[in-house]
A and B are shown apart, each in its own frame.
Chain A
Amino acid sequence: MLNVFAIYTFNTRGQCDLSFHTVSGRATSFPFSVKPRIPIMADAGSVEALLQLVEKADGGVDSLDVASRIGVDHQVIVGAVKSLQSLGDVISAEQRSSKHWELTEEGTELAEQGSHEARVFSSIPPEGLPQSELMKLSFGKIGFSKAMSNKWIRVDKSHEGGPRIFTSVESIQDQVREKLLLVQRGAALEEKDKNELKKRKLLAEVTVKSYWITRGSSFSTTLTKQETELTAEMIATGSWKDRKFKPYNFEAMGVAPDCGHLHPLMKVRTQFRQIFLEMGFSEMPTNNFIESSFWNFDSLFQPQQHPARDQHDTFFLSDPALAHDFPQDYLERVKRVHSEGGYGSQGYKYDWKMEEAQKNILRTHTTAVSARMLYKLAQQEKFTPVKYFSIDRVFRNETLDATHLAEFHQIEGVVADYGLTLGDLMGVLHQFFTKLGITKLRFKPAYNPYTEPSMEVFSYHEGLKKWVEVGNSGVFRPEMLLPMGLPEDVSVIAWGLSLERPTMIKYGINNIRELVGHKVNLQMVYDSPICRLDS
């Protein structure tokens, strides 16, 4: 729990380094047991001395002044100021900055020993000095040229034994040194001189930051040490009553709890299940991804040449390629209604092939399970009304893009009862979508091979200011229901939608691959809020 400590106590008022919690929002990001950095506390002596000076000075004191008066480095006083600031309003400190000229290292040397040229002048004896000798001196080179230009010395190049240097004036005045000494004493120089000395790197302008320190509202020369956290001991002894506590920084973020997370799509699925259960719908056993074409298409009166049964749209299996068991009597009736009609239908009038019905596929919709359920319902001694739902995976051999995957979740609702009307379907849809927070609905006539009437459900999208399709619905065809053996006056209404689309809208995800599959962005999973569909 060191981290909490660090966040709330040491990073006071944003003056210290906040990198701790701004860089990483969560506790799990400290895998290598980083210890929080504790700032250097100013030593007590200087704090005390500072406070005494502040008490005496009415208008306040400058920290630089304080440093020189106490005789410590200015940084020590700065540390004392900061630690006092963290205690609340003991002092108030205003940062100031002042600029002044200071001698450089070379400048200081020159101020002490004279300028290079002056030293050259004074090092030449009356009999002169060979140039080579002079150049050996540390200041020789620079001093020589300067002294030459000042015409303090002359060179006799024709002298035997090489060039020799002689003084050419009696005495000199070392102005450079004088100016440097002036600066050292704090006096002002002319702008021209300043620039020249700056060019010779003997002077530099420095900015000094200091604090103007005045008494704060709770000024006191005696300090009580502030506690960082309440401890068990304080509670036991009651000492907390007498202690002062460091203020918390409420600007900082807390530490993320160490926990697991549910996937957003599954959170939405849970809500949809909940809605169906609230409406009295029983869950269908959709745990069979592999389905025969018979249950997926034929039993739904979807003709064998229907484009959805194409290789381009449906995944077929090579192993196990064929389904081997069917309710034979029912299969015969399905065959007949496709090829010849019956039950008041003209049928599709084509050559229905068993081989086509046997082909195993990955189911393209959960309606295949609804068909099985309705067939079983028809096998009951006596028909009982049912309401079924399912939310499970379906598969399409699609080309993938940002909004299409080869597998997605289908939500499906089915109601079977005597005498259900199209108005009932709309009423049930209205109730269902109201639970999703969608109240403005309208219906468009549509086509679907196994429902008649078929309706596309549109809802008004307040953001887009237009009607958007939210689902598909319809009344199952008699050609599908009657061969199963359901009573003639039983109607079955159904609707479906995808789970992914509402989830993408809910969580503002544009690319479906960031939501479903291994390319999921786990940070998105961690950060996703709870799912309340109706708000």
Chain B
Amino acid sequence: MPTVGVKRDLLFNALGRTYTDEEFDELCFEFGLELDEITSEKEIISREQGDSKASGASDVILYKIDVPANRYDLLCLEGLVRGLQVFKNKLEAPRYTRVSPTTGEVQRLIITKETAAVRPHAVAAVLRNITFTKERYDSFIELQEKLHQNICRKRSLVAIGTHDLDTISGPFTYTARPPGDISFKPLNQTKEYTATQLMSLYKTDSHLRHYLHIIEDKPVYPIIYDSNGVVLSMPPIINGDHSKISLTTKNVFIECTATDLTKAKTVLDVMVTMFSQYCSRPFTVEEAEVVYPDGKTCIYPELAYRKEKLSGEFINRKVGISEPTEKIAQLLTRMCLLSQPTGAGDEIEVEIPPTRPDVIHACDIMEDAAVAYGFNNIIRTTPRTYTVANQFPINKLTELLRQDLAAAGFTEALNFALCSQEDIADKLCKKISDTRAVHISNPKTAEFQVARTTLLPGLLKTVAANRKMPLPLKLFEISDVVLKDESKDVGARNSRRFCAVYYNKSPGFEVIHGLLDRTMQLLEVKPAREQGYHIQAADDSTFFPGRCAEIFVHGKSVGRLGVLHPDVIGRFELSMPCSALEMDIEPFLGHTAETLLTHDVPMRETIKHIPPRQGHSQQPLPGPPASTKTVFGDLKTPEGLKALNDFLVDKSYVEGFVASQADVAVFDAVPSTPPQTLQHLRRWYNHIKSFQTDRARLPTTKTQFVLLNACPSSDHASDEDIDLFGSEDEAESAEMARIKEQRLAEYAAKKSKKPALIAKSSILLDVKPWDDETDMSKLEQCVRSVRMDGLLWGQSKLLPVGYGIKKLQIACVVEDDKVGTDVLEEAITAFEEHVQSVDVAAFNKI
């Protein structure tokens, strides 16, 4: 946020009254400014350089005011005063006009084609018969500096040059030349330098050296000459000394050179609107003509006033107030947006002046109305948005685990996600190339070279920083590490880890091992080789040889534990033995019936917002599938594909352990090659595709996966191509709205003729037998024998319940209108000799 320093008395003088500091602070707050500091030059110098340097400095009171970054019109005293006076209804916003020179002779700036290579744009204007005083002059210079620092992005986008027009004569030429060919006397120097010399001269200049890089390595440097070959400036570095302005300057030529033309125009508009106040005809600016290399000419400054029409209702609705149209127009006028009701309903015409380039949308106008109304006068209301809260599952698990790990005697640490390469590699006796770490390109210090790939170094550093604490130190952290992962859109992903260390006079492997056992107990994983967890000796250079084990859960490795290698202990400046444990906790996420949120976005849009381009159907599909509706949902929709993808996460085939007709049927239902994001589906799809020639020979299947009763929807897609957001300008929108309405009407008519889409649900049932002697295959047969209209049985499996009893988990798809879960349960529990109970394990709308 830019800060503008103004002299308090000068400010009050211009505002026409004095304020106490509190009153002025209040006024700023209301207007969206912040009175950051009340100080003086003397105070600033004494703070920065000591009291001795400060003696003799001015002790005039300065207000340092923070200005919003998009309000370039408030970056100087003139603009601040104007804005506040209009806001307080003490002044009408001036009207800025561009005038032709009285002499009839327009100043011209001719751009040559050489500038294209370095800084192609330029705009210019003239302030005629201006009267400077010391304060005005200072403010003029200061505004240029503020603009350079902010909108001009440190002169890289725009650079401003101001010149005493009476010392130079037009037309002016803006060209670019090799540095060796440029020679002039720069501002405040006594002799001429070549551009090359200047660049080395300014290398040590505390101010100018920051701008050198903008053109330094360019073959040619931008330069502006007058008709006599006098150098006006070498943008964006320095002006010529010849044309420098002074307190006695009467006529000012302003040029802005730029790489961004829009910004150049804005900067020029701000400069001239602020300081034309001091011209003999206030708020008039003399135009200048810019000639482009192609001969085209443009007149600057633009000083464009733009008109927008909006409704009072729009503002009332967005802000949450109910003001009459007149009142709203008055509110906007107080924000320098001259407004009046047009008389057509509650329509308001708003004029956006050239000083307000920040107003680019109706919402900006709405905000100004709210500011003028007073944010704190708006009544605070409660939205009626009804929602059900869900926790993010991995965070939920983390929260629960943290509590119990603290209860297990370990203390939580919180370390940085960024660290040095050394921390995650050398210090752990690992190679950086083996870490899968993401690397930062612009770290300010070595502490931020990479994102951590392990939590261990952070914990060891915490131990090192707390060596004076009584032993043993038992620490843990559950947090994210970052790993490179090609399957993600950004090429990396987070992984939630749990890490713990035990630091004492003896290694305490049994303590860390005990913590693992406790953690597994908390996570409901039993110690067992197959369906549980076990640890097994492993080699890892971070650990002491023979003192490291890998943790396996359900046969998959999830992490390691062991006694740290003495080299590792030494490299973290520790002296005692230490044991550690680190493991992934994402594999322990349970299943939930809630809709899961992920930050993966669909890369292909399901709702088209743009009319389909011609030649849309470039890739003819190998014949339309018989149906895209399956037990997984409609495979034409991303939800359906996602469901199928999820199903295939841990399965190779749709049914059983070999490819079958079930795979073929589902394959045919997938309309096109699945996107990369659905990697499991994609893998399966490619695999089934390879059976193409002998697909007929694949074994038949027991279960039907593709739903034949799905409604054909050949012209469905085109219905969705309604252009909701096509309108881009005011004139067209009415027409577009009419078309939109017409289309909507057509759509509704078409829809009413079509059979209604059948609402379906996929249900997972748990069927429990009486005892371990119940014949489960007979039970399944009984269940499958239940037949109803709109009911389709899917996959089933047996899951152990305990004491040798197994339950049958069976999926089915039902049409909501025809089959209810209660009816279904009733029908199944009717098989009394086999079935003890039936529960709905999961219920999802397709």
Contacts and interface: CB of A to CB of B under 8 A. Distances in A.
Contacts of B599: 284-288, 369, 372-373
B56 interface: no
Interface string B208-229: 0000000000000000000000
A14 interface: no
A387 B387 contact: yes
Contact of B597 (A285, A453, A488): A285
A277 interface: yes
Interface string B7-36: 000000000000000000000010110100
Contacts of B458: 518
Contacts of A455: 375
B816 interface: no
B382 A431 contact: yes
Contact of B360 (A347, A415, A516): A347
Interface in B386-400: 386-392, 394-395, 399
A214 interface: no
A452 interface: yes
A310 to B, nearest CB: 9
B601 A327 contact: yes
Interface stretch (A139-147, A178-186, A229-237, A318-326): A318-326
A21 interface: no
Contact of A423 (B153, B262, B378, B609): B378
A428 B153 CA distance: 37
A455 to B, nearest CB: 6
A75 interface: no
Contacts of B488: 288
B494 A289 contact: yes
How many B residues touch the partner, as a band? 35 or more
Contacts of B263: 350
Interface string A251-281: 0000000111111011000100100110111
Contact of B440 (A318, A417, A488): A318
Contacts of A442: 29, 375-376
Interface string A388-418: 0000010101010000011100000001010
- Using C-beta atoms within 8 Å of the partner chain, give the interface range for chain A: 35 or more
B145 interface: no
A447 B153 contact: no
A195 interface: no
Contact of A362 (B34, B440, B462): B440
B378 A422 contact: yes
Nearest to A321: B441
Interface in B440-479: 440-444, 447-448, 451, 458, 461-462, 464-466, 469-474, 476
A506 interface: no
* Max chain A Cβ within 10 angstroms of own Cβ: one of B319, B382, B403, B411: B411
Interface string A490-526: 0100000000000000000000000011111111011
Contacts of A373: 597, 599
Given A29-B470, A424-B381, A282 B438 contact: no
B725 interface: yes
Given A262-B402, A284-B597, A526-B411, A317 B494 contact: no
Nearest to A363: B490
A96 interface: no
B676 A325 contact: yes
A311 interface: yes
Interface in A438-494: 442-447, 452-455, 475, 477-479, 482-483, 485, 487-488, 491
Nearest to B415: A518
A503 B688 CA distance: 55
Contacts of A352: none
Nearest to A26: B470
Contact of A343 (B317, B410, B728): B728
B489 A346 contact: no
Contacts of B604: 327
A386 B385 CA distance: 8
Contact of B318 (A316, A379, A393, A491): A491
B606 interface: yes
A478 B370 CA distance: 17
Interface in A123-177: none
A345 B360 contact: yes
A344 interface: yes
A67 interface: no
Contacts of A39: none
B321 A349 contact: no
Given A262-B403, A326-B603, A290 B438 contact: yes
A362 B451 contact: yes
B482 interface: yes
Contact of A285 (B370, B389, B598): B598
A258 B367 contact: no
Nearest to B379: A423
A342 B726 CA distance: 8
Contacts of A342: 725, 728
B392 A284 contact: yes
B320 A422 contact: yes
Given A259-B409, A344-B361, A453-B367, A522 B466 contact: yes
A263 B413 contact: yes
Contacts of A315: 418, 440, 442-443, 448
B393 to A, nearest CB: 9
B414 A520 contact: yes
A350 B473 CA distance: 57
A517 B451 contact: no
A277 B389 CA distance: 6
Q: Pick the most buried of A289, A322, A399, A417: most chain B CB atoms within 10 A of its CB.
A: A289
Contacts of B676: 325
Contacts of B462: 518, 520, 522
A379 B602 contact: yes
B381 A397 contact: no
Contact of A421 (B70, B319, B402, B442): B319
A333 B728 contact: no
A393 B452 CA distance: 13
Given A289-B482, A317-B438, A379 B31 contact: no
Contact of B601 (A273, A376, A420, A522): A376
B407 A260 contact: yes
B496 A287 contact: yes
A85 to B, nearest CB: 35
B412 A525 contact: yes
Nearest to A287: B494
Contacts of A419: 317
Interface in A275-315: 276-277, 279-292, 305, 307, 311, 315
B725 A427 contact: no
A415 to B, nearest CB: 6
A346 B362 CA distance: 10
A317 B465 contact: no
A335 to B, nearest CB: 13
Contact of A319 (B260, B439, B466, B505): B439
A29 B409 CA distance: 15
B343 to A, nearest CB: 23
A257 B465 CA distance: 24
B371 interface: yes
A127 to B, nearest CB: 81
Given A387-B389, A417-B385, A291 B490 contact: yes
Interface of A: 26, 28-29, 31, 258-263, 265-266, 270, 273, 276-277, 279-292, 305, 307, 311, 315-330, 332-333, 341-350, 360, 362, 369, 372-373, 375-376, 378-379, 381, 385-387, 393, 395, 397, 399, 405-407, 415, 417, 419-424, 426-428, 430-431, 442-447, 452-455, 475, 477-479, 482-483, 485, 487-488, 491, 516-523, 525-526
Given A281-B387, A444-B29, 10 more contacts: A266-B402, A317-B441, A329-B608, A424-B381, A424-B382, A453-B319, A485-B607, A518-B464, A520-B413, A520-B462
Closest A-B pairs by Cβ, 9 of them:
A423-B320, A421-B320, A445-B32, A320-B491, A447-B68, A518-B461, A318-B441, A453-B367, A325-B489
